[in-house]
Amino acid sequence: MDSLTNHCNGFFDPKLASEAPIMNSTATSDPKVVTGTAGYILEDVPHLTDYCLNLPTYPNPLQDNPAYSVVKQYFVHVDDSVPQKVVVHKDGARGVHFRRAGPRQKVYFEPDEVQAAIVTCGGLCPGLNTVIRELVCGLHHMYGVKKVLGIIGGYRGFYARNTINLTPKSVNDIHKRGGTVLGTSRGGHDTKKIVDSIQDRGINQVYIIGGDGTQRGASAIFEEVRKRGLKVSVVGIPKTIDNDIPVIDKSFGFDTAVEEAQRAINAAHVEAESVENGIGVVKLMGRYSGFIAMYATLASRDVDCCLIPESPFYLEGPGGLFEYIEKRLKENGHMVIVIAEGAGQELVSESVQSMSKQDASGNKLLQDVGLWISQKIKDHFAELKTMPMTLKYIDPTYMIRAIPSNASDNVYCTLLAQSAVHGAMAGYTGYTSGLVNGRQTYIPFYRITERQNHVVITDRMWARLLSSTNQPSFLSVKHVNEEKKGEEPSNQLPDGHCPDDILVKKKISCIHPPGC
């Protein structure tokens, strides 16, 4: 038991490690699943007490916090959970649930002993600074934590020893700026060196903000922490502007991205309608998932055609894109095309072989499909010679992701950050803070990293887009039938209302990331 005490207080003795009864011999901890009556399944998250025995508990400081004194029931009940699906049949099972986020009556850290660290990884996204600010302010104002480190430059900052001290004063105005004050990078993940740094610095709460690759890294860090028996809570906050993280309702920054995309679409529309047979082409982010393009198109009402990675299309022949463009120009005299960056990559790669190249995060390096399709359209109309055409191409990619978050995302970032803090203080670890069916929850890492979320082109939401743009689906009957054959219930609710409609993610011409 002495070795156990040493481990759980952050002291690591290699000699004791082999003798400690808390150590798990498997490389990855088994999922925690709790079953109940009527088909109830709770996919629970790990807790420090799973591998650190006899940890002391303390009264939650929130019970003496004036801000929470007016709340009737500010502690979440231990058995509260949130269903993954809100629509069920009357005779069906209660289904999968996740642990509800929020403050607990007992905490496993005293404020003075907490040494927290915050790191941002991967690409930029609106709201990163808001999450950082609310993590710092939540730890300080709700729990009295004074020691918070910012890890500079992503994962490699852990062993490069690049850190800054974060206080409520130093982060007070950062939410008004785009990007991340901590800096970011892709790659640079060395699990053992990172955990060595965590151990050497005495860090016992780690908040990791990033996309699916970053969350896989966070999961690896948690497993190494667990194997060493350290009293360290590892918490993830999911970040992706593409909204392609499964289970959660949406990722922060997505609303801002869709709103900002409207500016580019509006500019393309103005350019297109100002000339004879004008075409405005807008390329939006969406490497593997077309959510930004789809929602921006639905919100705009000025778009005539939306092309996304999940929906294959072809250029020439009956029912092809060129035929549709000619038809719309004859009807309206102008048109706007929105294309996600990952759309049509199989067509581009026929002439440029680069699909095997990857960036530091393992993402495939894609060709600029916007420039490619713009040139293809120009070449087609040059050959026609009977229909003069003017095309304007707009690429707002980095403008969209570099701006500060809007009001909606700012509120969401606050909820995510405060929920993450509550969970860490309550001793939970190895989880991601996320919104499921409008409720804050704690989701085990493996559910976040098991796959990517995709637009389902046999779902009502995509049908709404086709109705709005009046564009063809570019799918043959054979394609649709193949799509429906493999359908199965999905975990994501793209339109927020119709879980019974959702089918499996795209399998036709869909470009998958490594490990997906």
Residue 447 assigned to a binding site: no
State yes or no: 23 annotated in a binding site: no
**Annotation-wise, does 207 bind a ligand?**
no
Give the integer Cα–Cα distance in Å for 430 and 497. 30
Q: Could you tell me if residue 54 is left (phi over 0), alpha (psi between -120 and 50 degrees) or otherwise beta?
A: left
pLDDT (0 to 100) of residue 4: 42
CA dist 253 to 94, 124, 185, 260, 485, Å?
32, 10, 18, 11, 34
CA separation for the pair 32, 95 (Å, rounded)? 15
Nearest C-alpha neighbor of 241 from the set 224, 228, 258:
258
177 is in an annotated binding site: no
* Cα(119)–Cα(151) distance, integer angstroms: 5
% of the chain at pLDDT higher than 70 = 83
- The residue type of 377 is I
- Lookup result for tokens 């807790």: 47
Contacts of 71 (CB under 8 A, 6+ apart): none
Using the predicted structure, report yes or no on whether residue 12 has a pLDDT greater than 50.
Answer: no
How much is the pLDDT for 466?
94
DSSP-derived 3-state class of residue 209: strand
Q: 232: which 2 tokens?
A: 């360290």
Ligand-binding site membership of 242 (annotated): yes
CB 261 within 8 A of CB 398: no
Measured from the Cβ of residue 98, the count of other Cβ atoms closer than 10 Å reads: 27
pLDDT at 353: 54
Q: How far apart are CA 514 and CA 469, in angstroms?
A: 33
Is 228 annotated as ligand-binding?
no
Q: What is the DSSP string of 40-67?
A: EEEEE--BGGGTSTT---EE-GGGG-GG
> Does the structure show a pLDDT above 90 at 325?
yes
Say whether 241 counts as a known binding-site residue: yes
Nearest to 211 by CA among 419, 449, 412, 417: 449
Q: Tell me the residue ranges of DSSP E strands in 376-429.
A: 390-394
162: confidence class by pLDDT, cuts 50, 70, 90: confident
- Is residue 287 a known part of a binding site? yes
Per-residue model confidence (pLDDT) at position 362: 54
Q: How confident is the model at residue 122 (pLDDT cuts 50, 70, 90)?
A: very high
Q: Is 263 annotated as a binding residue?
A: no
pLDDT at 346: 87
Question: pLDDT (tens digit, 9 = 90+) per residue, 370-401?
Answer: 999 999 999 999 998 888 999 999 999 899 99
Question: pLDDT tier at 483 (50, 70, 90 boundaries)?
Answer: low
Assign residue 515 a region (left: φ > 0; alpha: ψ between -120 and 50; beta: otherwise): left
Q: What is the mean pLDDT of residues 433-452?
A: 94
Per the structure block, which two tokens stand in for 485? Answer: 């054959």
pLDDT in the model for residue 13: 40
Q: What is the pLDDT of residues 28-44, one digit of tens each?
A: 678 999 999 999 999 99
Q: Which residue has the higher pLDDT, 52 or 68?
A: 52
The per-residue DSSP string of 127-153 comes to THHHHHHHHHHIIIIIH---EEEEETT
Q: What is the pLDDT of residue 256?
A: 96
Tokens matching residue 425: 């203080």
pLDDT at res. 356: 54
Q: Highest mean pLDDT range out of 250-264, 343-357, 450-464?
A: 250-264
Residue 296: both structure tokens together? 């921006």
Determine the pLDDT at residue 99: 97
pLDDT of 272 higher than 50: yes
Q: Is the pLDDT of residue 503 over 60?
A: no
- Asked about 242 being catalytic, the answer comes back as yes
Mean pLDDT of the chain: 86
Q: Is 213 annotated among the ligand-binding residues?
A: yes
Is residue 114 over pLDDT 90?
yes
C-alpha dihedral sign at 340, 343, 345, 350: negative
Residue 159 pLDDT > 90: no
Confidence of residue 248 (pLDDT cuts 50, 70, 90): very high
451 is in an annotated binding site: no
Give the closest residue to 97 by CA, choosing from 145, 12, 137, 40: 40
List C-alpha distances in Å: 181 to 5, 118, 133, 177.
37, 11, 10, 9
End-to-end CA distance of the chain: 41
Q: Residue 104 is encoded by which pair of tokens? A: 């607990």
Tell how far CA 259 is from the center of its chain: 18
- Residue 506 has a pLDDT of 34
399 in a labelled binding site: yes
| Higher-confidence position of 368 and 99 | 99
The more confidently predicted of residues 236 and 354 is 236
Catalytic residue among 2, 50, 80, 242: 242
Q: Is 362 annotated as a binding residue?
A: no
pLDDT value, residue 386? 83
pLDDT tier for residue 91 given thresholds of 50, 70 and 90: confident
Q: Is residue 286 a known part of a binding site?
A: yes
Alpha-carbon gap, residue 252 to 210, rounded angstroms: 11
Instruction: Please name every residue paired with 34 in a beta bridge, in sequence order, or none if there are none.
Output: 42
